[in-house]
């Protein structure tokens, strides 16, 4: 689903690489944790997958698309196959929960009828069917993140990218979010989650890729946050 071949990224005016000759492959349906300290290259990795940045060298293939050969007007097509969730939720404050989720579908050209069918379904999945008329400001952080996940998932993307989705949430709420992401993963969506949260990584026992100073220093199939012991 995602393949990096000898990918390096050096930002202008920086002397060391944000990513240095990274090779990895994430298969369809996998759940992958991306761990590492701030500045280790996690965000760069995610930005490269979304084609917000281009690699300095190397090949990236996402959902069957060679990103180096992807012309600018094809980028939206790539992003429709990759849902994204952020630490800061990025909801539209003037729109209700329903409208926030429906926004994706409007942008993609769904009819009102399809929207009225799809949005309640995904709101039920994230457990917010009762709150569809609320504004984000009236909700807790955990609920807002569920809305953000619903928005990312409503168009059923092949890949879901989550950048520190529990970073602003307390542990109990985080568990709920992780259950939700796990459920989405079980329905066939590839999930890539960047995180600092060692408890979550340890409890899920999923594949862990650790980055340090732009290198992949660890890639374990059923890993934990740090080396055990």
Contact residues toward another protein (CB under 8 A) are: 50, 72-73, 75-81, 83-84, 90, 92-94, 103-104, 106-109, 111-112, 151-152, 155
Q: Which is nearer to another protein, 101 or 216 (CB)?
A: 101
Residue closer to another protein, measured from CB, 154 or 208:
154
Min separation Cβ 117 and another protein, Å: 15
Q: Is 119 exposed, middle or buried, given 0-12, 13-18 or 19+ CB atoms closer than 10 A?
A: buried
Sign of the torsion formed by the C-alpha atoms of 140, 131, 103 and 183: positive
Beta strand pairing call for 215-220 and 207-212: antiparallel
CA 190 to chain centre: 9
> Shortest Cβ distance from residue 113 to another protein (Å)?
11
Return the number of the residue (108 or 217) whose C-beta is nearest another protein.
108
Residue 72 or 228: which CB sits closer to another protein? 72
Query: Minimum CB separation from another protein for residue 68, in Å?
Result: 17
Kindly tell me which of 80 and 205 has the beta carbon lying closer to another protein: 80
Least separation in angstroms between residue 109's CB and another protein is 6
Q: Which string of b and e fits 23-34 if b means at least 16 CB within 10 Å? A: eeebeeebbbbb
Smallest separation, CB 107 to another protein (Å):
4
Sign of the Cα torsion 25, 28, 32, 38 reads positive
CB of 155 to another protein, least distance (A): 7
Nearer to another protein, 77 or 121 (CB): 77
Helix (H, G, I), strand (E, B) or coil at 31: strand
Residue 198 exposure: Cα atoms within 13 Å on the Cβ side: 6
User: In the structure encoding, which two tokens stand for residue 157, read together?
Assistant: 């993307």
């Amino acid at each position: 689903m995602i393949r990096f071949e000898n990918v390096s990224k050096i930002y202008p005016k920086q002397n060391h690489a944000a990513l240095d000759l990274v090779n990895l492959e994430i298969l369809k349906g996998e759940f992958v944790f991306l761990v590492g300290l701030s500045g280790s290259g996690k965000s760069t990795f995610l930005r490269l997958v979304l084609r917000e940045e281009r690699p300095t060298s190397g090949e990236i293939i996402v959902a069957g698309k060679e990103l180096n050969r992807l012309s600018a007007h094809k980028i939206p097509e790539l992003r429709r196959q990759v849902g994204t969730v952020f630490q800061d939720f990025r909801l539209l404050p003037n729109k209700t929960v329903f409208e926030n989720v429906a926004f994706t579908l409007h942008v993609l050209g769904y009819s009102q009828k399809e929207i009225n069918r799809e949005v309640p379904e995904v709101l039920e999945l994230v457990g917010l069917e009762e709150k569809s008329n609320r504004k984000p400001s009236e909700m807790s952080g955990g609920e807002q993140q569920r809305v953000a996940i619903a928005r990312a998932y409503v168009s059923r993307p092949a890949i879901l990218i989550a950048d520190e989705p529990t970073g602003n949430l307390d542990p109990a709420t985080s568990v709920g979010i992780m259950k939700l992401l796990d459920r989405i993963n079980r329905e066939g969506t590839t999930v890539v989650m960047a995180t600092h949260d060692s408890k979550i990584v340890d409890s899920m026992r999923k594949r862990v890729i650790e980055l340090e100073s732009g290198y992949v220093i660890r890639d374990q199939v059923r890993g934990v946050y740090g080396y055990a012991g």
